[in-house]
């Protein structure tokens, strides 16, 4: 076993104790800890995803094959249960597009909740592991509240809000595939249909047209999008001020807006009439090492 395998084994031994204690079945084991091993390795309760992120030099097939075998040995699983994905810089919605039809799915637990993940067919698995503390925060905030989840992907924030006792959760995404996935997650957790509302729509158009108001809004938009289903293009740095203004218009007085982006160079244009708290550092989970993986803000609407 090489240095990569040894590092994975040590990290897994350390993190598995924490994960069992916290009821977490999916977590990050390795995150480019050593420059000569440019991988990210995530654990999904008996299987793993190995992300290959080449730097200036390409990663040779032989190095990937060795990494697969060493990861499998370190994690005590079969090599076929290590799923390889190539993570180049993504533009638009490409990270959400289907790339295969193998249908390798698992159900993973997170602090009493269950989520369907797909390990084979998309760049991402359906559950953003770095948002685990944010999901817990929404769950704690949601009792007796109305919640709007925008750019909802597979609805993990919606599931957390409903589990926290939200009166109603509205889930909006452009993809019917992901809305159906969110519905599966709700059913998996035994959440009643009347608690959930799933809406297929361009989020920006939805915000323009809605006259409804919510107590909590979650917005985790893509960095950039030029989808044919959208009018124009979306750039989170350029357009976030307008979007946040629309969200605040849809927020009840005293309500809270959770906004997050994975644009590393992001600069927030603070709405002058709101309280804005940068919660990026305090919502970074212990299994993640990159403090710049995302910027997250809690915006409180003044009463």
> Is the CATH number 3.40.50.2000 carried by domain 3-88?
no
Token representation of residue 4:
């990569």
CB 174 within 8 A of CB 147: no
Q: How many helices (H) and strands (E) does the chain have?
A: 7, 15
Q: Please report, in tens digits, the pLDDT of each residue of the chain (303 residues total).
A: 799 999 999 999 999 999 999 999 999 999 999 989 999 999 999 999 999 987 777 889 999 999 999 999 999 999 999 999 997 654 444 444 544 568 899 999 999 999 999 999 999 999 999 999 999 999 999 999 999 999 999 999 999 999 999 999 999 999 999 999 999 999 999 999 999 999 999 999 999 999 999 999 999 999 988 765 556 789 999 999 999 999 999 999 999 999 999 999 999 987 666 789 999 999 999 999 999 999 999 998 765
- How far apart are the C-alpha atoms of 203 and 171, rounded to whole Å? 10
Give the helix/strand (H/E) hosting 68.
helix 61-75
Token representation of residue 44:
């999904």
- How far apart are the C-alpha atoms of 166 and 126, rounded to whole Å? 22
- How far apart are the C-alpha atoms of 292 and 303, rounded to whole Å? 32
Return the ∠ at Cα 8 (arms to 50 and 29), rounded to 5°: 60
**Letter string b/e over residues 123-140, b meaning 16 or more CB atoms within 10 A of that residue's CB:** bbbbbbbbbbbbbbbbbe
Tokens 């995302």 sit on residue: 294
Could you tell me the sign of the dihedral formed by the alpha carbons of 151, 153, 156, 159, in that order? Answer: positive
**What is the pTM (predicted TM-score) of this model?**
0.92
Token representation of residue 53:
């992120």
Q: Is 73 helix (H, G, I), strand (E, B) or coil?
A: helix
Q: Is 253 helix (H, G, I), strand (E, B) or coil?
A: strand
- Which pLDDT score, from 0 to 100, does residue 271 have? 61
Q: Where are the domains of the chain?
A: 3-88, 108-301
108-301 topology per CATH:
Rossmann fold (3.40.50)
Q: Return contacts of 241-246, CB within 8 angstroms, 24+ apart.
A: 241/269, 241/271, 243/204, 243/207, 243/219, 244/219, 244/271, 244/299, 245/271, 246/204, 246/207, 246/208
């Amino acid at each position: 076993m090489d240095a990569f395998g040894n590092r994975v084994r040590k990290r897994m031994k350390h993190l598995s104790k924490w994960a069992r204690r916290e009821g977490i079945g999916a977590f990050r084991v390795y995150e480019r800890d050593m420059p000569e091993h440019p991988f990210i390795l995530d654990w999904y309760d008996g299987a793993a995803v190995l992300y290959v992120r080449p730097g200036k030099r390409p990663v040779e097939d032989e190095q990937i094959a060795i990494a697969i075998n060493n990861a499998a040995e370190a994690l005590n699983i079969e090599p076929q249960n290590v799923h390889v994905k190539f993570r180049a810089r993504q533009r638009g919605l490409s990270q959400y597009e289907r790339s295969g039809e193998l249908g390798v799915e698992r159900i993973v637990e997170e602090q009493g909740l269950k989520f369907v993940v797909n390990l084979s067919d998309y760049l991402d698995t359906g559950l953003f592991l770095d948002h685990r503390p944010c999901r817990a925060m929404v769950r704690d905030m949601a009792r007796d509240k109305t919640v709007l989840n925008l750019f909802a992907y597979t609805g993990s924030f919606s599931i957390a809000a409903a589990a926290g006792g939200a009166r109603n959760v509205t889930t909006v995404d452009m993809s019917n595939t992901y809305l159906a996935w969110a519905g599966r997650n709700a059913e998996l957790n035994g959440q009643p249909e009347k608690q959930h509302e799933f809406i297929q729509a361009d989020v920006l158009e939805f915000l323009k047209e809605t006259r409804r108001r919510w107590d909590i809004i979650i917005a985790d938009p893509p960095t950039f999008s030029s989808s044919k289903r959208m009018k124009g293009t979306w750039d989170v740095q350029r357009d976030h001020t307008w979007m946040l203004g629309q969200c605040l218009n849809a927020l009840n007085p005293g309500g809270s807006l959770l906004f997050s982006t994975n644009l590393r160079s992001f600069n927030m244009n603070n709405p002058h009439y709101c309280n804005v708290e940068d919660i990026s550092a305090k919502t970074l989970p212990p299994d993640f090492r990159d403090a710049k993986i995302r910027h997250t803000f809690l915006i409180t609407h003044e009463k």
